[in-house]
A = this chain, B = another copy of it.
Amino acid sequence: MDFHTNVEGGVPASAPSLANLHGAALRTASPGTAQSPCATCTVRHLCLPGDLDEKSRRPLEALTIGRRRVRKGQKIFREGEGFQFLYAVRMGTVKTTVALHDGHEQVTNFHLPGDILGFDGLADGSHPTTATALDNAEVCAIPYIQLMEACGDVKPLRYRVAQLMALQLVRDFRSLKLVAGRGSEQRVAGFLLQMSGWMKDRGYSAREFQLRMSRADIGSYLGTALETVSRTLSAFARRGFITVRHRRIELLQPQELLMHVDKGE
Binding site for B on A (CB under 8 A): 6, 11, 98, 100-102, 104, 106, 108-109, 119-124, 128-129, 148, 151-153, 155, 158-159, 161-163, 165-170, 172-173, 175-177, 179-182, 220, 223, 261-262, 265
> Given contacts A152-B155, A265-B106, are A169 and B170 in contact (CB under 8 A)?
no
Q: CB < 8 Å: which of B11, B108, B177, B180 contacts A124?
A: B11
Q: CB < 8 Å: which of B102, B123, B148, B262 contacts A170?
A: B123
Q: CA separation between A162 and B148, bound complex, in Å? A: 9
Q: CB < 8 Å: which of B98, B124, B173 contacts A172?
A: B173
In the complex, chain B residues whose CB is within 8 Å of the CB of A109: 173
Name 21 interchain pairs, CB-CB below 8 A, sorted by A. A6-B101, A101-B261, A101-B262, A102-B265, A109-B173, A121-B166, A122-B163, A122-B166, A123-B163, A123-B170, A148-B155, A148-B159, A151-B151, A151-B158, A152-B153, A152-B158, A162-B165, A169-B172, A172-B176, A176-B176, A179-B180
> Given contacts A177-B98, A265-B100, are A120 and B152 in contact (CB under 8 A)?
no
Q: Which residue of B lies closest to A123 (CB)?
A: B166
Q: CA separation between A159 and B123, bound complex, in Å? A: 10
Q: CB < 8 Å: which of B6, B159, B179 contacts A223?
A: B179
In the complex, chain B residues whose CB is within 8 Å of the CB of A148: 155, 158-159, 162
In the complex, chain B residues whose CB is within 8 Å of the CB of A121: 166
In the complex, chain B residues whose CB is within 8 Å of the CB of A261: 101
- Please tell me if the beta carbons of B163 and A101 are within 8 angstroms of each other in the complex: no
A9 to chain B, nearest CB (A): 8
- Please tell me if the beta carbons of B106 and A169 are within 8 angstroms of each other in the complex: no
A156 to chain B, nearest CB (A): 11
The 3 closest A-B pairs by CB, nearest first: A123-B166, A101-B262, A100-B265
In the complex, chain B residues whose CB is within 8 Å of the CB of A179: 176, 179-180, 223
- Please tell me if the beta carbons of B106 and A180 are within 8 angstroms of each other in the complex: yes
| Residue among A159, A162, A168 with the highest chain B CB neighbour number at 10 A | A162
Q: CA separation between A109 and B176, bound complex, in Å? A: 10
A116 to chain B, nearest CB (A): 12
Q: CA separation between A161 and B119, bound complex, in Å? A: 12
